[in-house]
Structure 1
């Protein structure tokens, strides 16, 4: 008899112990910690910073990944080293394929990480920025699987909004249609990753983690998650005028190069790094660490109610 998806899931020792004891756990994606997310050594710095932020608030970090054809939630030090060198991205649609084909290392995107967090019984997940509706989607149909995953797994996703090069109004519209509560952490505006405000009002502002927990509890659709948006810290924000100019150049370049689908995000982020003389990397680190800390606060609050 073949084993089930649940039986194949590998939990790290610390994560397993925390879940059994009813303590707070925060899932973390692995794409941002791989070469597809940040260049070395910044990817390793991001991993350590996010883990430390989660630990500081009393929760256990659980990095998700595919290793040797099996889904992992919570990694050992040696397994983390493999993720840092990962070059193969895994979205939720790829999870079964990665297992069936025995992929050596697969770094998980938001959609895969949310799915694995749900499978492991983890209710809070932290990332940098989610994917969304791409510009020109009315022609290409390009909509990130992240949105569908958030809409179909009862997990609180903590992010700095969505990637700034996306169609943010349509992204918010999609989330509304899917019934996903979108919250602004002590902030009135939907963040745009490197900038604190996209100019679009966030549907609901929340002031503390207890309210976030109650939003998840009181949802009307049992399978639907929650998106908690956290603006990048003020001191780490890249001025909107500068990032907008850089984005325009990066998007034009990607269009000329024929880059589409999942390849757009790493391509554009690499261009942004180049055009900002590397200033986007400290911003990435700051927002990822900040999100992880807020996620840990929410996770701890969930265990207390």
Structure 2
């Protein structure tokens, strides 16, 4: 690892040396996922939840040409205020952003890369990217899936974002050998809702069971990650028809105006928020809190 390109906070360094549980967090959700100041408030609350559950938070971003592992409050505020002016950074963007000493908001893929470089094994996010609807024509498949196939990490999410083709996303993960595990559920959650109609590979009921399965994976020398799908709490789950109708409208509008590539997900999430009168944003925040809590418990169980 070339230290010119990574900066690990003192707190995270000390946690690594002391073998304390650590949970990585992404920064795209701060700069591209929510409006200011709600994004900063949410990011700070997520870190607080992780601490309350016995682990050390490590928010990851790119600042001044370095992958920052353990972003402080001032940096989080900068990410939130600057918003979408900060480039959304996936694997393909890393080399150029670092060489130009630029800033970047890390996606699931680049957060996994940064966490792996630092030696962190657990990562909490909202929902992963996946195979987009119509990918049989567009070939629009998120780099998140390739990173899950290559990087040794537990990724806790509320399923793949429901704007995606969930069936094809599961098929892709199966091909890549990534186990999809439901936490206390046999059905893949669909981000805003607890059910999707698709089954997960396995159902595990405790953080310890998840930790033991991951240890077995490492012990076998199997590369790649493990996807833990954690349903949104019942009281914050949205009505399936309401959210699916909103998604259909948003997808149709994106197609009509030619939105594609890495702009697709931010556009769709913003449009769904508009259509649902903000209800989708509230659900998004609650599922992130729920994932942070579980990720911290799994990180503790790993230790």
TM-score class normalised by the smaller sequence: over 0.9
Note the C-alpha offset of 1:223: 2.3
1:223 & 1:86 partners in 2: Cα distance?
34
Q: How does 1:49-198 map to 2 (within 5 A)?
A: 49-84=45-80, 85-87=82-84, 88-103=87-102, 105-198=103-196
Q: Is the 8 A contact 1:246 1:272 kept in 2?
A: yes
Note the C-alpha offset of 1:13: 1.4
Q: Is the 8 A contact 1:196 1:234 kept in 2?
A: yes
* Residues 1:20 and 2:20 are matched in the alignment: no
* Residues 1:262 and 2:258 are matched in the alignment: no
SS of 1:301's equivalent in the other structure is: helix
Which residue among 28, 44, 48 is the counterpart of 1:31? Answer: 28
1:178-213 deviation line (CA, Å, top 9, x unaligned): 000110011111011000011111110000111111
1:93 & 1:183 partners in 2: Cα distance?
28
Q: How does 1:293-304 map to 2 (within 5 A)?
A: 293-303=293-303
Any unmatched runs of 5+ in structure 1? none
Note the C-alpha offset of 1:30: 0.4
Q: Is the 8 A contact 1:42 1:281 kept in 2?
A: no
Q: Give the TM-score taking structure 1 as reference length.
A: 0.95
Note the C-alpha offset of 1:41: 2.0
1:167 & 1:142 partners in 2: Cα distance?
11
Q: Is the 8 A contact 1:154 1:216 kept in 2?
A: no
* Residues 1:45 and 2:41 are matched in the alignment: yes
Note the C-alpha offset of 1:8: 2.6
| CA RMSD between the two structures | 1.1
2:275 & 2:160 partners in 1: Cα distance?
20
Q: Is the 8 A contact 1:86 1:107 kept in 2?
A: no
Q: Give the TM-score taking structure 2 as reference length.
A: 0.96
* Residues 1:208 and 2:209 are matched in the alignment: no
Note the C-alpha offset of 1:52: 1.1
